[in-house]
Amino acid sequence: MVKPFVFAALLAGSAIGTPMPQATGVPTPTTLMSGAYWIRGVAAPNYHKYLQTKPANVPGTAILDSHTTAGQFAIESGQLVNKASNPPLYMWVEEPADKANPPRTLATWFNTTKSPFGTFAWSGDTLTWSVPSVKRQNLGAWLVCAKQALFVNTGAYAYQTPSGCADQTIHYYNDKTANN
């Protein structure tokens, strides 16, 4: 069984408050670091496709892709953090201009600074994202669209799926290696 982890000790030495460091592409360790999770799809067409960036572990669009380049993540104070990158990278969600009538998809990406918009949480092993200003039917509904890019689905899961996208929920996995 999977257990929650505590990150207070790891956070103590983080780079918060220092000038933005230069991000470098670090190969993902092939084994899971203590306190981190893989995050992956578990249904077609993204069965065992893992959350990451391309190149791996540098700022960029959040995608679901090969197990060989998977990022390693933790939720810390509502932020989704890639622990395999140096510096750590935080997942951001696009903030729509009209929050009462948001677009169907909100883009996601990783940046070196904390996201100012929304909160990540686990619901069981499912990754959710929420913000009070945007009403969503299903906080665990994601869409994977062109070039494997991951989006928040502001509509219903598996209903009027936008063309070129696939409905997915994404889940943590904590075996030592990311498998195919």
Ligand X SMILES: *[C@@H]1O[C@H](CO)[C@@H](O)[C@H](O)[C@H]1NC(C)=O
Please say whether the beta carbons of 48 and 179 come within 8 A.
Answer: yes
How distant is the alpha carbon of residue 39 from its chain centre? 7
Please say whether the beta carbons of 51 and 171 come within 8 A.
Answer: no
Give me the half-sphere count of Cα atoms (radius 13 Å) on the Cβ side of residue 73.
31
CB of 92 to ligand X, least distance (A): 5
Q: Which is nearer to ligand X, 10 or 62 (CB)?
A: 62
Please say whether the beta carbons of 101 and 148 come within 8 A.
Answer: no
CB of 115 to ligand X, least distance (A): 8
Q: Which is nearer to ligand X, 85 or 126 (CB)?
A: 85
Q: Which is nearer to ligand X, 111 or 130 (CB)?
A: 111
Q: Which residues bind ligand X (CB under 6 A)?
A: 92, 109, 111, 113
Please say whether the beta carbons of 72 and 29 come within 8 A.
Answer: yes
Q: Which is nearer to ligand X, 115 or 154 (CB)?
A: 115
CB of 143 to ligand X, least distance (A): 20
CB of 114 to ligand X, least distance (A): 8
